[in-house]
């Protein structure tokens, strides 16, 4: 029977705790991921009912029907389009049977259709309306207390779903909830502020956010939505963090206790309906129930404030890059420079990156037209490495040859590909490369570009002060010479880069650790201890000729006589000796720097792998 108290009246009295992930719990119980979970309402009702009971016993005050994908389009993929009404009716009946006489609300769950609406697809808005009406009407006739529209990505689609719900029953409460990408926007680029306004305009009774990432991300989004629409009830149902695949199984990292903390936080900021999405189990809901019921529960998490216009004052819509995270906790970080290929085939680069990953390298940094020679765009290489290998990259970004329009457009393109570690450099002059007559002009110097990224783009504006929709979240590196002829002049340049907002530095190749110590000591004398993380450049020597060239013809590189003597005496095993020397240098430097920036000579990436493996061995 329906709940004795109207749902919207109950929301005014305090936070309501909903259930967790039906799909996750069914899968843990043995349902294959490619199964039609909604059809289990007919083929395995006891399994569905058992999930409902588990969430009821955990303390949920609202449970959702197992009908998220029970619309004609999704069911057609399983040859069940004719069973829309039967599956949705059964979904409500199973939920009702599970709660018995308890005063628990049954929410009819409605997800997106699984097809794109025009103009991005071939399904018209009227076709979408009809499909939603068919499902929602079945849920209402079955006895649902309310309708929850969840995990939508398209504002136009959810508007049709709300319209269908109102047509089916003008008085039934309707919740409209969207999901967001890791960038903090919908897949169509709508930021939380615009989403909140649009959802309110549909006439939904409750608006909110679900799925997406973990509680931290959704809490920030909900803060914005609450600031934009302070009079509407808000729903928040996060995933249990971002999923990871471990031995073929999808795992979610967020613990029940962590969810308990966030339940208290969400209640404190005025969220009205709290629950869980993908990865959340009855244990998560049980922890949230206990936290909400505890009289003195104090969470150990501090929220970033939100400005009155609904924009977070902290640029935290995305978690820091793995590079930034590891440097922040003092973990020694290793990156290897790779050059893009001269053709459009990147298979050799990917194979080498995979080899380096297996050796323990943390990151690949990709150079941009080294020695001013034509190569594939480094953005593409970075994207391929990240996409194929799941390995983070650093994009070399020269200012030379780009005007201010292209600089900003290229950076936005990189961010769209999730390339968020940027190494800002001047770049090699075109006069030394394949196209000496090519444009060599630039509108901005490296320190100026660092400032533009950190103070403009990362704050949501271009250089002219125009909004870019939402802030970027770049971590920005600068170039540094630790062994300069004029230390004070180099320190002065470094200070400009630090003041502009540099997050880390990649250095020129070092062969004299004592000079690094001298540089750091002089910096401390002038400005206090240097806190900028340094990834020290290490270029392993390949042979006597290579060493002589570096020593005599590359500005800023000086190879001490003992090292030169060792490499000269090595003969045919010079590359192995070069690896040994590099590993020794890194051991000597480890207490002074935060990481290694290995530059393999002549594309000999196996030498970088050997250095990393040698570093892992006892001295």
pLDDT at 474: 95
Instruction: State the pLDDT at residue 308.
Output: 42
Average pLDDT, the chain: 89
The whole-number pLDDT of residue 28 equals: 76
User: Which DSSP symbol is given to 185?
Assistant: S
What CATH topology corresponds to 332-616?
TIM Barrel (3.20.20)
Tens of pLDDT, residue by residue over 443-465, are: 688 888 999 999 999 998 998 88
Question: What pLDDT is recorded for position 427?
Answer: 60
Lateral strand order in the sheet of 273-274 = 16-17, 273-274, 234-238, 206-211, 174-178, 146-152, 105-110, 62-64
Give 520-524's long-range contacts (Cβ < 8 A, gap of 24+). Answer: 520/592, 522/487, 522/488, 522/491, 523/491, 523/494
Q: Is the pLDDT of residue 149 over 50?
A: yes
Q: What is the pLDDT of residues 88-100, one digit of tens each?
A: 999 999 999 999 9
pLDDT digits (tens, 9 = 90+) for 347-386: 999 999 999 999 999 999 999 865 556 678 898 999 999 9
- Whole-prediction pTM: 0.60
Residue ranges of the chain that CATH labels 3.20.20.220: 332-616
Lowest mean pLDDT among 192-201, 307-316, 512-521: 307-316
Mean pLDDT, rounded, for 175-195: 89
Question: Does 329 have pLDDT greater than 90?
Answer: no
Whole-number pLDDT of residue 311 = 43
For residue 432, what pLDDT is reported?
43
Q: What residue ranges of the chain are covered by domains with CATH 3.20.20.330?
A: 7-293
Q: Report the share of the chain in percent with pLDDT over 70.
A: 90
Q: How far apart, in whole angstroms, are the C-alpha atoms of residue 365 and residue 507? A: 13
Could you tell me which of 62, 55, 535 has the C-alpha nearest to residue 272? 62
Cα–Cα distances (Å) from 48 to 64, 89, 92, 105, 513, in that order, read 11, 14, 11, 17, 65
Mean pLDDT of 126-149: 98
Is residue 57 predicted with pLDDT exceeding 90?
yes
The per-residue pLDDT for 557 is: 87
Q: How confident is the model at residue 469 (pLDDT cuts 50, 70, 90)?
A: confident
- Report the CATH fold assignment for 7-293: TIM Barrel (3.20.20)
For the residues 541-547, what does the mean pLDDT come to? 95
Three-state SS at 178 = strand
| Phi, psi torsion values for 538, nearest 5 degrees | -135, 115
Residue 315 has a pLDDT of 42
pLDDT higher than 80, residue 312: no
pLDDT tens profile 229-284: 999 999 999 998 765 544 455 555 678 988 998 999 999 999 999 999 998 999 99
């Amino acid at each position: 029977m329906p709940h004795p108290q109207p749902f919207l009246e109950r929301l005014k009295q305090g936070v309501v705790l909903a259930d967790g992930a039906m799909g996750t719990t069914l899968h843990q119980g043995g349902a294959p991921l490619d199964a039609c979970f909604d059809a289990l309402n007919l083929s395995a009702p006891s399994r569905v009912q058992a999930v409902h009971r588990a969430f009821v016993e955990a303390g949920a005050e609202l449970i959702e029907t197992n009908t998220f994908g029970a619309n004609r389009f999704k069911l057609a993929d399983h040859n069940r389009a004719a069973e829309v009404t039967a599956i949705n009716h059964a979904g409500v009946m199973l939920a009702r049977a599970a709660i018995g006489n308890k005063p628990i609300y049954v929410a009819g769950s409605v997800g997106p259709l699984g097809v794109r609406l025009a103009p991005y697809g071939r399904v018209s808005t009227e076709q979408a309306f009809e499909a939603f009406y068919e499902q929602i009407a079945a849920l209402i006739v079955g006895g649902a207390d309310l309708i929850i529209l969840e995990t939508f990505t398209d504002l136009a689609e959810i508007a049709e779903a709300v319209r269908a719900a109102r047509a089916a029953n003008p008085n039934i409460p309707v919740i409209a909830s969207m999901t967001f990408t890791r960038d903090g926007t919908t897949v169509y680029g709508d930021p939380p502020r615009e989403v909140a306004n649009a959802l309110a305009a549909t006439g939904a009774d409750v608006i909110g956010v679900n799925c997406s990432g973990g509680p931290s991300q959704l809490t920030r989004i909900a803060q914005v939505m609450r600031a934009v629409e302070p009079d509407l009830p808000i729903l928040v149902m996060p995933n249990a963090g971002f999923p990871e695949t471990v031995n073929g199984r999808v795992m979610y990292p967020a613990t029940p206790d962590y969810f308990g903390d966030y339940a208290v936080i969400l209640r404190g900021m005025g969220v009205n309906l709290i629950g869980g999405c993908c990865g959340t189990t009855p244990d998560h809901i049980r922890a949230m129930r206990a936290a909400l019921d505890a009289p003195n529960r104090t969470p150990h998490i501090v929220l970033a404030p939100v400005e009155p216009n609904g924009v977070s004052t902290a640029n935290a819509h995305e978690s820091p890059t793995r590079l930034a995270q590891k440097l922040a906790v003092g973990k020694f970080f290793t990156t290897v420079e790779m050059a893009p290929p001269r053709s459009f085939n990147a298979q050799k680069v990917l194979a080498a990156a995979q080899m380096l990953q297996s050796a323990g390298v943390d990151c690949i940094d990709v150079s941009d037209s080294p020695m001013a020679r034509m190569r594939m765009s480094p953005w593409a290489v970075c994207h391929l490495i990240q996409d194929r290998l799941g390995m983070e990259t650093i994009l070399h970004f020269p200012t030379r040859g780009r005007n201010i329009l292209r600089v900003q457009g290229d950076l936005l393109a990189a961010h769209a590909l999730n390339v968020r570690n940027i190494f800002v450099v001047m770049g090699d002059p075109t006069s030394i490369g394949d196209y000496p007559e090519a444009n060599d002009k630039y509108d901005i110097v490296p320190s100026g570009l660092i400032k533009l990224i950190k103070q403009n783009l990362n704050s949501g504006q271009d250089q002219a002060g125009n909004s870019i929709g939402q802030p970027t979240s770049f971590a920005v590196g600068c170039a540094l010479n630790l062994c300069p002829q004029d230390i004070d002049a180099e320190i002065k340049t470094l200070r400009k880069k630090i003041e502009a907002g540099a997050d880390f530095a990649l250095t020129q190749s070092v062969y004299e650790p004592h000079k690094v110590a001298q540089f750091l000591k002089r910096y401390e004398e002038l400005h206090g201890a240097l806190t900028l993380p340094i990834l020290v450049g290490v270029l392993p020597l390949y042979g006597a000729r290579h060493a002589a060239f570096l020593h005599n013809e590359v500005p800023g590189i000086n190879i001490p006589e003992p090292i030169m003597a060792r490499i000269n005496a090595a003969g045919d095993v010079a590359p192995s000796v070069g690896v040994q020397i590099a590993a020794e240098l890194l051991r000597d430097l480890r207490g002074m720097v935060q990481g290694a920036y290995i530059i393999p000579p002549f594309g000999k990436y196996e030498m970088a792998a050997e250095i990393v493996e040698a570093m892992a061995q006892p001295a």
